[in-house]
């Protein structure tokens, strides 16, 4: 079941996002980049997105197994708990988010991590540009902007 997130979901979503980042991203990103993701997806940012009304929770057997947010035509913060990945939950959540966006916009955009890129390609997204965010100590986070 997918439902709109409410403020009471903030800590549950935050925990899910952090656990997903730690388990899914750590083989691919340095600790400095992981720290950037943790800060970017902090409690305050998650709460603010929930209050905007565009954050959703995907539940299975009464537990939060995934979350996703959109703003205008851009999908953001899509995470599926590691124990539930590769079971179709990501597709269910993306179908919902894309449907919300396509009611108002002709295309959907997103920024893809290394780990999400193959999933988005399989969903029909294509690369628009490679981008980066400069971090401290001459590091940068590289990601791909994609559209469908």
The per-residue pLDDT for 136 is 85
Backbone angles phi, psi at 85, to 5 degrees: -75, 155
Q: How high is the pLDDT of residue 138?
A: 84
Task: Give the model's pLDDT for residue 137.
Answer: 82
Place of tokens 């990601």: 143
- Structure confidence at residue 98 (pLDDT): 98
Model confidence, pTM: 0.92
pLDDT value, residue 80:
97
Q: Could you tell me the mean pLDDT of each successive run of 10 residues in the chain, 148 residues long?
A: 96 97 93 94 96 96 95 96 95 97 97 94 97 88 94
- Both tokens of 104, joined, read 């108002």
Helix ranges (H only) for 1-58 are 10-20, 31-40, 43-52
Q: Each residue of 41-83: pLDDT tens digit? A: 999 999 999 999 999 999 998 899 999 999 999 999 999 999 9
* pLDDT for position 67: 98
Angle, CA 112 vertex, CA 41 and CA 91 arms, to 5°? 90
């Amino acid at each position: 079941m997918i439902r709109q997130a409410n403020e009471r979901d903030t800590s549950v979503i935050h925990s899910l996002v952090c656990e997903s980042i730690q388990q899914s991203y750590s083989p691919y990103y340095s600790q400095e980049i992981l720290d950037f993701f943790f800060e970017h997806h902090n409690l305050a940012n998650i709460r603010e997105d929930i209050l905007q009304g565009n954050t959703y929770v995907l539940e299975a057997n009464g537990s939060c197994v995934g979350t996703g947010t959109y703003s205008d035509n851009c999908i953001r913060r899509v995470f599926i708990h590691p124990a539930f990945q590769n079971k179709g939950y990501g597709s269910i959540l993306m179908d919902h988010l894309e449907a919300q966006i396509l009611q108002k916009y002709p295309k959907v955009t997103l920024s893809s991590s290394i780990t999400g890129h193959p999933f988005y390609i399989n969903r029909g997204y294509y690369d628009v540009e490679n981008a980066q965010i400069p971090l401290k100590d001459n590091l940068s986070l590289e990601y791909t902007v994609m559209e469908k």
